[in-house]
Structure formats: structure tokens, C-alpha cells
Amino acid sequence: MFNTISDVKTALSAQRYIPSDEIATTVFLAEKLGKPILAEGPAGVGKTELAKVWAAATGRELIRLQCYEGLDETKALYEWEYAKQLLYTQLLRDKLNDLLAGVTTLAEAADRLAAEEDVFFSSRFMLPRPLLKAITSEQPVTLLIDEIDRADAEFEAFLLEVLSDFQVSVPELGTIRARHQPMVLLTSNNTRELSEALKRRCLYLHVDYPTAEQELQIVNLKVPGLPPKLAQQAVELVQRLRGMDLKKHPSVSETIDWARALLELNARHLDRATIETTLNVLLKFEGDLQRARRAMVRDEGDRARRERDEFGRPRRDDEGGRFRGN
């Protein structure tokens, strides 16, 4: 699919995703080596988005398994359609009566029914879930196993067979091997440590917050129409917030949401009122909002002091005669 790392960057960029060199190299190697990618990093930095654009760039269907506490094999792999089995049992009642004709004991009846149970535990009555869909797909697919760190350690262990041999074991049907090996991307927000066995089967990729330059590129790409100066101010403020001791730092997706909000509000520049009324798009905890507002007031005080001399008069620039500061 990709001959060079540059091909990966070009294909992902065409999907409006700005990949770093490390991301492009990891995707290239995953395609060449046929290994899953484990992408770890803070929430909202583009890990899930990477799976979406990877699938779109390669023309593969994206199959998503959202992990959560308590997720088990039946929700991830397959379930039996008991209602359909019951319906067939009712419709085939006459056939069942014929089958049990002449039976005199319960044991003999059970033996005869057991001989026919393969009919009711076959693919006809199986409801495939994301993992089985990816394994049995007629076409190559991209499988996203999202937030694997939310699942229990037991489910993580269950995945090892899928990630190493790309096959699953169904007691009633035996081993089912992948028709086409899916490209797999697992994401983790680092809420718990994953096992070494899982990491060993994957190419590890750490996705961190972007630099100011990269984030400005993302904002310009995702929110066209935002004035360049405003976009730069917005990114600078987000980067400052990430340097503060907050319960939750703003993610890239929240930066994009904020930029869209500023565009909808027809803001031309960032003043205190605009920041005050829209800061809740970036920060989602009251304590973080209060801490950010106090820092903003402190910054304004410091800036005002820098712009005044010891007598309270406006300080002038020595060369251009302009006021210092912003």
C-alpha cells in the first residue's frame, strides 16, 4: 500500500491529519511488518483519529471496538441469537416430534437432540461482534481497539491470540483464522499499565500534545477562516494552560472546538471578556477554570507593571518610541 514513509505522510495529510515523522514511520512499519500499533498518550491528542484516517487513506473499512470496564468475549467476539434459535425451534416443532418419535426415555431423547445441536450452534445463529467481524471480513479492514486501558486485565489477555495469530477460538466451531489480516490500532490513555505481553505484540507509539507550531497547523487546517492572529493567540493560550498544574489539560480536540467557537462568535482577537466567556470550552473542571482565571489576572497585572515606570508613567520604547509589552 505504501512504498515509502513519505507516501504515508502524503496519504494521511490528504485526510486532513498532520502526522509527525514518528507517526508516519510507525504506520509504514505496521503495514510492512503486519504488526498492530499500540498508541499511548493523553486523551484527545488524535490517537483515535489516526485509526480513522489510516482506514480512509487505505480504503479499508474501519471496525471499532470501544473498551470499557466489564467488557468480555461475548460483547467483543460473538453472541448466540437465542431468540432466533427459539423461533426456529417453534417452526421446526413437527420435525422435532419426528426426530423424537419412538423414544422411551429422557436419556435417549437427549442423545438424539444432542446429535442435532450443531444445527443450532452454527454461524447461522451467530451474531458477530467487532473482533469476529474483523477476522471474518471478506475485505481487508482496519480494526480500532479503543481505550484498551479501560478493559480488565482478563480481556487484555484474551486479545493476545487475536493480536499474535489473528485468529479466534470458538468452542462450538473451532478456530477461525482471519481471511485478511486486519491492520490493528490499539489506543490507551495510560489510566493503567498494560501488560508486557500485549506491548510485545505491538509497535509502540507515544502520541503527546503537539508543539505550538504543529498545533497552529492543525487549527489552520481544521478551522479555516479563523483570523491568523487569533489562531496564534488561541494556540499560545492553550500551550500556557498545558504548562499549568490543572486536573485536566485541554486536548487538541478541545483546541479545535474552541477555535470553532471563536469563529462562530466572530471574535477578532482574544480579549479578557472573550476568554472569560469561552474558557469552559477548553477546561472542564471548576477548579481548573478558577485557577486559569487567577493566572490570567496575575499576567495582566505583571504586564501592566512592565508597561509603567516607577512613577506610574507609561514606559516608552527607546528606539521606536512605542509602548513596551503586547
Give the model's pLDDT for residue 326.
36
pLDDT band at 324 (very low <50, low <70, confident <90, very high): very low
Give the model's pLDDT for residue 204.
97
Each residue's pLDDT tens digit, 33-50: 999 999 999 999 999 999
Reply yes or no on whether the pLDDT at 17 is more than 90.
Answer: yes
Reply yes or no on whether the pLDDT at 323 is more than 80.
Answer: no
pTM equals: 0.80
- The domain covering 5-76+129-206 belongs, at the CATH homologous superfamily level, to P-loop containing nucleotide triphosphate hydrolases (3.40.50.300)
Q: Kindly report the average pLDDT of the chain as a whole number.
A: 89
Q: Is 261 helix (H, G, I), strand (E, B) or coil?
A: helix
- The dihedral built from the CA positions of residue 31, 37, 41 and 46, taken in this order, carries a sign that is positive
Each residue's pLDDT tens digit, 295-318: 888 877 776 677 666 666 666 554
Each residue's pLDDT tens digit, 48-102: 999 999 999 999 999 999 999 999 988 899 888 888 878 887 777 777 777 778 8
Phi, psi of 314 (to 5 degrees): -60, 130
Reply yes or no on whether the pLDDT at 242 is more than 70.
Answer: yes
Average pLDDT of the residues in 160-170: 88
Strand partners, 127: 79
Q: What percent of the chain has pLDDT over 70?
A: 92
- Integer angstrom CA distances of residue 110 from 70, 103, 115, 135, 298: 35, 10, 9, 34, 81
Domain boundaries, the chain: 5-76+129-206, 78-124, 212-307
- The dihedral built from the CA positions of residue 83, 88, 89 and 90, taken in this order, carries a sign that is positive
